[in-house]
């Protein structure tokens, strides 16, 4: 009979994300050796905190520092002015809010504590609305440039550069 253990006695496999005993050196499901034989509660990350950081400070990649993705966080800070890190953080929110906890642990190579499904759904909806808003803004701007260039009798590129100067 399989032993049931409490949350203090379990961790997630670093390869497949399966819940395993905290003292297991090898995952019984996939057979991969575990890097950390003992994983403390201090190493666990709150999924709700990660979603909040991605939502509020996602353009700077602060949530990446929280979950241990330091290089990605540094690049987000360096390139925040391009708004590309904002898109990546919104995609992270969509993935984290709809993904299974085991898959998230494997993808982000951390141990998330689970959060309420309601909170995850709210973050998913917020991120989706923002992404749709960004897409509509970009398409609207392109459409306005195209229409204005038609009425001015010049190409859209020529019109755009004349507008800037």
Residues 6+ apart with CB under 8 A from 143: none
Q: What residues are paired with 11 via a beta bridge? A: 20
CB 46 within 8 A of CB 112: yes
| Reported confidence tier of residue 165, pLDDT bands at 50, 70, 90 | low
Q: What is the pLDDT of residues 53-80, one digit of tens each?
A: 999 998 999 999 998 889 999 999 999 9
Q: What is the pLDDT of residues 123-145, one digit of tens each?
A: 999 999 999 999 999 899 888 87
What are the structural domain ranges in the chain?
1-39, 44-164
Residues 6+ apart with CB under 8 A from 157: none
């Amino acid at each position: 009979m399989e032993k049931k253990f409490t949350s203090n006695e379990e961790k997630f496999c670093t390869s497949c994300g399966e819940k395993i005993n905290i003292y297991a050196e090898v995952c019984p499901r996939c057979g991969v050796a575990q890097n950390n034989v003992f994983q403390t509660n201090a190493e666990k990350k709150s999924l709700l905190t990660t979603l909040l950081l991605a939502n509020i400070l996602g353009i700077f990649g602060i949530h990446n520092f929280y979950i241990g993705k330091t290089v990605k966080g540094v690049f987000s800070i360096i390139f925040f002015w391009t708004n590309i890190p904002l898109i990546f953080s919104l995609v992270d929110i969509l993935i984290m809010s709809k993904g299974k906890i085991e898959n998230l642990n494997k993808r982000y190579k951390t141990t998330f504590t689970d959060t309420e499904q309601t909170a995850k759904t709210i973050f998913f909806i917020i991120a989706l609305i923002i992404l749709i808003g960004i897409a509509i803004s970009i398409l609207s701007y392109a459409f306005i440039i195209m229409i204005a260039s038609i009425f001015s009798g010049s190409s859209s590129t020529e019109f755009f550069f004349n507008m800037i100067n």
